[in-house]
Amino acid sequence: MSRKARILGIAPYEGLATLMTQYGAGRQDVELTAFLGNMERGVALAKEHYSDYDMIISRANTASMISQAVPIPVIDIKMDYYDVLLCIKMAEQTRTRFAFIGFHSLTTIAQTLCDLLKTPIDIFSISTPSEAGVLLDKLKGLGYETVICDTVAYDHAKFIGITPILLTSSLQSLKAAVDSAVDTYQRHLELYQSTLLMRQVLKNSNSDYIVLDMDGQCLFSTFETNKTVSISNKLKEELEHCREDASRSFFTCIENQMYSVYSSLSDDRLHTYVIFQLNASKIPLAYSKYGIAIMDRREAEDSFTNSFYSNTELGRGIIADTNAAVGPRTGLMIIGEIGTGKDRVAHLYYSKSDLQNNPLYVINCSFINDKSWNFITNHYKSPFTDNGNTIYISNIDRLSCERQKKLLAVILDTNVHVRNLLLFSCTQSAGEGISHVAVEYVNTLGLTLTSIKPLRERKDDIASSAGLYINTLDRTLGKQVVGLEEGAIKLLEDYEYPYNHSQFKRILKEAVLKTSAPYIKGEIIRQLLEQEAVLAPHSHCGSTHVTPRTFPIHTDSGTSDDWVKLNLNQHLDSINKDIVLHTLKGCNNNQTAAAKKLGISRTTLWRYLNR
């Protein structure tokens, strides 16, 4: 029996990775493993893992870049007319002004479809990835709100406030690429088998390996990508010593990990390189403080651009608010109800400030314990002792009153707010004013106050936001849902969302998972909203505007009120108590008779009445 073709799938977006995994499981002639990585990240993954595979499948620019970086065949997953047509229909669902941008191969398909359908769409072609950013900035100034694009323009569009609809690949396109990969494998089977022994030796080795050329470029690594970079940078310092001594052994410490290293100089007349064999010693990793994290600008930007908020109309408001608030190191107090995206605002504000190239310290008061509290306020390595950084203290309302005052005193006594940029967030209850702690910090530290509106006050955004986020869910879940029926949209617009955007996001995700048709039906949304009413019957937002779930119970009381409607949007104990009270009323408040009718003792009846 011939060996299966081993295919490495590098997917520029999550939904394609899911589709690869699902499709590969159904093929008997291949072993398909999928990783998520776009462009540079995809290239790094390919370089890290290609030695375990016969070939690679990827898409568009990522596939082109990988083909230049690895020595095994790379198959491009082509886009077809159906893929492009589906995205055009999604864009129409958003009810916004949109454009189509991409390389000539994609815009040609789009133009052909527009000509056939007699549908006028603004189509723009680019020749290089760098042109995408310039074009998007221009489109933003012209009032475009949505673009259909490939991954090359996706992140920049989100960051400037244009909502992107990603051109996704269909199952048919993936199948064609896998078929092509299998055909290539069968035609080069002898070559693949000749390298199998070397791969097995590396896989079964207890050591890790890195190969560097004499310029310090990594040619091969068995480490994960993030470790490869730091270890390669450290080993570059050893290259001159390795040139002088062809074989040597030494120890080195990299990111708090000690390695014993054996190096060997190799010269094959075409290239000169050094093979490093590394064995890790058992030195523990660095200790991290509970409730305290460190981010850089790229991580903060990704936190927003990869979030739900950047993929909806709601994200435009967040971008506009941060653009207006960013000033000369002005501190910020962000208030809003639970689930309104306060952390994303803080991350975006930091990434646009003049301190964006310095660290962002995130202190989440919800997770602070005594040990981390003492570290923050007393330790010489606390973020408060450094200068020129951004410190984001989230959920300050979760601290006790004593610690709220203590923290403010520490900030004032040490001039933390003068030496650093301070950001705060505070959760605001529905229908209530700004909390006392937020007012005290704003007034004392001279902070700018930014309030995020709850979703129930942005009903006009719900239809377009839902349509845009469904496109994101298609990308991550491997689905091809076009949008919502009008009845479903109406139900979403009428709901109150006690948990705001977080709840909206969850409802849409469940709806997409439950939908097998192109459009989400109103009945699916109704079922999910009724489920939400059971999950949060006593939310702080008051009425949910969803009809309460009631259930008629026949009591056979012998009176004209034989039926009672039970409110199922409450705890089981409350439902049982309602039954007991109704039965007791039908028995003229005779507890003995009521207990007998219910089949319980008088003691049990008394317990229900007094809960």
* Mean pLDDT to the nearest integer, 433-449: 91
pLDDT at 423: 95
* Mean pLDDT to the nearest integer, 508-512: 92
Q: pLDDT digit string (tens) for 42-69?
A: 999 999 898 888 899 998 888 988 998 8
Per the prediction, the chain carries an average pLDDT of 83
Rounded Cα–Cα distance for residues 321 and 334 (Å)? 11
- Of 46, 50, 48, the residue nearest 12 (C-alpha): 46
Q: Which of 11-15, 190-194, 373-377 shows the lowest mean pLDDT across its residues?
A: 190-194
When pLDDT is cut at 50, 70 and 90, the band that residue 543 belongs to is very low
Rounded Cα–Cα distance for residues 574 and 245 (Å)? 81
Q: pLDDT digit string (tens) for 332-357?
A: 999 998 888 899 889 988 988 888 87
* Mean pLDDT to the nearest integer, 203-212: 82
Q: pLDDT digit string (tens) for 264-279?
A: 998 866 778 999 999 8
Which residues touch 213 (CB under 8 Å, ≥6 apart)?
Answer: 219, 271, 272, 273
pLDDT at 546: 43
* Mean pLDDT to the nearest integer, 221-233: 82
Assess whether pLDDT exceeds 70 at residue 196.
Answer: no
SS3 192: helix
pLDDT at 305: 76
pLDDT at 434: 85
* Mean pLDDT to the nearest integer, 198-210: 75
pLDDT at 603: 73
Assess whether pLDDT exceeds 70 at residue 541.
Answer: no
pLDDT at 301: 83
pTM recorded for the entire structure? 0.51
pLDDT at 230: 87
Residue 127 tokens read as 């020749």
Query: Pick the residue with more confidence: 539 or 506?
Result: 506
Assess whether pLDDT exceeds 60 at residue 233.
Answer: yes
pLDDT at 322: 65
**Please, are residues 252 and 229 in contact by the beta-carbon 8 Å criterion?**
no
Q: pLDDT digit string (tens) for 545-571?
A: 444 444 444 445 444 444 555 665 555
* Mean pLDDT to the nearest integer, 257-261: 75
Give CA torsion, residues 192, 198, 201, 204, to 10 deg.
-40
pLDDT at 379: 83
Which residues touch 342 (CB under 8 Å, ≥6 apart)?
Answer: 334, 335, 336, 394, 425, 427, 452
Q: How many residues are recorded in the chain?
A: 611
Residue 292 tokens read as 């305290």
Number of H helices, E strands in the chain: 26, 23
pLDDT at 537: 53
**pLDDT-above-90 percentage for the chain:** 32
Q: Which of 132-141, 221-230, 566-575 shows the lowest mean pLDDT across its residues?
A: 566-575
Name 552's bridge partners. 565
SS3 35: strand
pLDDT at 281: 52
Q: Which of 4-13, 25-34, 295-304 shows the lowest mean pLDDT across its residues?
A: 295-304
HSE (CB half, 13 Å, CA atoms) of 297?
Answer: 10
Assess whether pLDDT exceeds 70 at residue 12.
Answer: yes
Q: Which of 125-139, 225-239, 268-282, 497-511 shows the lowest mean pLDDT across its residues?
A: 268-282
Largest CA distance in the chain: 104
Q: pLDDT digit string (tens) for 281-319?
A: 543 333 345 678 878 777 888 888 777 666 666 666 667
When pLDDT is cut at 50, 70 and 90, the band that residue 191 belongs to is low
Amino acid identity of residue 292, one-letter, is: I
When pLDDT is cut at 50, 70 and 90, the band that residue 22 belongs to is very high
pLDDT at 75: 94
pLDDT at 241: 83
Q: Which of 106-110, 440-444, 563-567, 597-601 shows the lowest mean pLDDT across its residues?
A: 563-567
